[in-house]
Amino acid sequence: MRDAIVIVGAGFCGTVLTMNLLRRPGATLTDIVLVERSSAMHRGVAYAPREYPYLLNVPAGRLSADSADPQQFIDYARTRVSGCDAEDFLPRALYGDYLEESLLRAQRESAQQVRLERINDEVLDLRRIGERDIEVELARRPALRANRVVLAVGNPPPALPAWLESLRDHAAVRADPWDLPQDLQEHHSVLIVGNGLTMVDAALALSADPQRMPTLHTLSRRGLVPQTQTAFKPCAVCGNGEELLAATGSMRALMRASRKLAHEVESAGGDWREAVTFVRNLAPQIWRQLPHAERARFVRHVQPQWDVHRHRLPPPLAQRLAQLRDCGKLRINAGRVDQVIPVGDRLQVGWRGRGGQPRSTLTVDVVVNATGPDYVLERSRSPLLRSLRAQGLIAADALHLGILTDASGACIDARGGRTEDLYYLGPMLRADYWEATAVTELRGHAERLAQHLARSR
């Protein structure tokens, strides 16, 4: 009797989980079915080929999909990019190529009792059939039967700000930051909503042609822009973090301990990024120890600062951003929109600056929603996630950060019980771990989940 595992999503998480299952076969005959709705199989949105050559935000030497082979990606990259170094920031599409080839290699080397099938389709719903089977409903082909299902659906799309909802279908609105207009000229103007990494992607793509570069405006509540990466040493700070862990009863105490660590690192000639990396590695343990009220305080007051120091820009991109600002083609703003009026094919946006600044008005040709992934499960537009939540098979945490799971990755249902056959792998693990977006973190979760699935039936 064959054991069937369906993995929903073939981006980074789904692909790396599949590779690990192929390397760690269970005792039973196993069918692995990898289902991806987009054409970017094994890449997801992040690593899909695009006209603009987006760069990875992490140096190549820290991006191996296999913890047992830390040099794997840089070794692969050197076969494709002459002279590249472990500290280089390489194209994202190259990383997608690497994931595709890594999965093919894992499939070739897999045990005979494991069989992999790839399906390009969308999973619409899951229904339990009897005591041990799940029916997986697809959009374009007959339903599948599975014993276990893993949700690896990737980052959710950004939510439109409330002030744009009524204008979702307006010609000037780009709800998807990857769907940028290709015909803008120098006399056009664009408002990018958000100032994080997605804003940077959009700004650099829109300004790629110097001969027809529109004027770009950005707007977020605080106006914070990601810090720049450096060639720091990720493992420079030693210790077990006793002082940080002892401060987890209070967000104020934790901030004091973190600032003290950064000051000590810089006083010794180091880089504050070394301290941030040390704190990030402890983040899951810190997050689990923080009381709910302190977690809420972090999300409300500290998260914006954490994000711009934790999620950083490659130096070439930071330099390009600075050039755009210096020549007046990019203007970073902090404030809140209070009025939007359609003016033909354009939009007139009224906003108030942070700190009591006077009200301003912009009339722009395009508004790009670059607010980043929307992790609030209750707002999800995914038919699958909406159905699973309605059935009570998945549940959000109290702060609406993601999907609740247990230590093995099994979903926690609406009654607080552990599901025996439904698992989640991806960035919405931040509900339980906070840090769950980087390759190293998600790689670790994928490896542990593969071990669990291989030894359990």
Q: Considering only CA atoms, which of 352, 363, 290, 320 is closest in space to residue 202?
A: 320
Looking at 305, 331, 356, which one is the last position of a domain? Answer: 305
Report the alpha-carbon distance of residue 278 to residue 295 in Å, rounded. Answer: 19
Res. 15: pLDDT tops 90: yes
For residues 255-279, give the mean pLDDT: 96
Q: Same domain for 94 and 222? A: no
Q: Same domain for 23 and 68? A: yes
Q: Which two tokens stand for residue 373?
A: 């992934």
Query: What is the dihedral angle through the alpha carbons of 196, 290, 452, 135, rounded to the nearest 10 degrees?
Result: -70
* Domain-located, residue 233: no
Q: Same domain for 33 and 140? A: yes
Res. 27: pLDDT tops 80: no
For residues 116-134, give the mean pLDDT: 92
Q: Same domain for 41 and 116? A: yes
Q: Same domain for 448 and 337? A: no
* Domain-located, residue 348: yes
Res. 2: pLDDT tops 80: no
C-beta separation of 274 from 265 below 8 A: yes
Q: Same domain for 44 and 141? A: yes
Give the amino acid at 50: R
Looking at 369, 384, 404, which one is the last position of a domain? Answer: 369
* Domain-located, residue 448: yes
Mean pLDDT taken over the chain: 94
pLDDT higher at 190 or 24: 190
Q: Same domain for 143 and 258? A: no
Residue 333's pLDDT is what? 96
In the chain, the percentage of residues whose pLDDT exceeds 70 is 98
Domain count, the chain: 3
Least reliable range by pLDDT among 19-33, 187-201, 292-306, 324-338: 19-33
Report the alpha-carbon distance of residue 420 to residue 27 in Å, rounded. Answer: 19
Residue 328's pLDDT is what? 95
* Domain-located, residue 235: no
Range of the domain at 267: 242-305
Q: Same domain for 82 and 146? A: yes
Q: Same domain for 323 and 412? A: no
* Domain-located, residue 232: no
- pLDDT band (50, 70, 90) for residue 52: confident
Q: Same domain for 42 and 120? A: yes
User: What is the 3 state secondary structure string of 385-402?
Assistant: HHHHHHCCCCCECCCCCC
- CATH code of residue 99: 3.50.50.60
For residues 254-262, give the mean pLDDT: 96
In the chain, the percentage of residues whose pLDDT exceeds 90 is 87
- pLDDT band (50, 70, 90) for residue 25: low
First to last CA, the chain: 12
Res. 1: pLDDT tops 70: no
* Domain-located, residue 236: no
What's the pLDDT tens digit per position in 272-306?
Answer: 999 999 999 999 999 999 999 999 999 999 999 99
Place of tokens 């899909």: 48
Q: Which two tokens stand for residue 208?
A: 């790629």
Looking at 349, 369, 389, which one is the last position of a domain? Answer: 369
Most confident option among 31-40, 164-173, 232-241:
164-173
User: What is the 3 state secondary structure string of the chain?
Assistant: CCEEEEEECCCHHHHHHHHHHHHCCCCCCEEEEEEECCCCCCCCCCCCCCCCCCECCCCHHHCCCCCCCCCHHHHHHHCCCCCCCCCCCCEHHHHHHHHHHHHHHHHHCCCCCEEEEEEECCEEEEEEECCCEEEEEECCCCCEEECEEEECCCCCCCCCCHHHHHHCCCCCEECCCCCCCCCCCCCCEEEEECCCHHHHHHHHHHCCCHHHCCEEEEEECCCCCCCECCCCCCCCCCCCCHHHHHCCCCHHHHHHHHHHHHHHHHHCCCCHHHHHHHHHHHHHHHHHHCCHHHHHHHHHHHHHHHHHHHCCECHHHHHHHHHHHHCCCEEEEEEEEEEEEEECCEEEEEEEECCCCCEEEEEECEEEECCCCCCCHHHCCCHHHHHHHHCCCCCECCCCCCECECCCCEEECCCCCEEEEEEECCHHHHHHHCCCCCHHHHHHHHHHHHHHHHHCC
Neighbouring residues of 56: CB distance < 8 A, sequence distance ≥ 6: 63, 89, 90, 91, 92, 95, 314
Least reliable range by pLDDT among 29-33, 122-126, 375-379: 29-33
* Domain-located, residue 237: no
Q: Same domain for 414 and 438? A: yes
Angle (deg, nearest 10), helices 315-326 and 197-206: 60
Q: Same domain for 247 and 386? A: no
Res. 28: pLDDT tops 80: no
Res. 243: pLDDT tops 80: yes
Least reliable range by pLDDT among 46-55, 61-70, 238-247, 281-290: 46-55
What's the pLDDT tens digit per position in 173-188?
Answer: 999 999 999 899 999 9
Report the alpha-carbon distance of residue 301 to residue 299 in Å, rounded. Answer: 6
What's the pLDDT tens digit per position in 329-368?
Answer: 999 999 999 999 999 999 999 999 988 788 999 999 999 9
Q: Decide the pairing of beta strands 330-343 and 215-220.
A: parallel
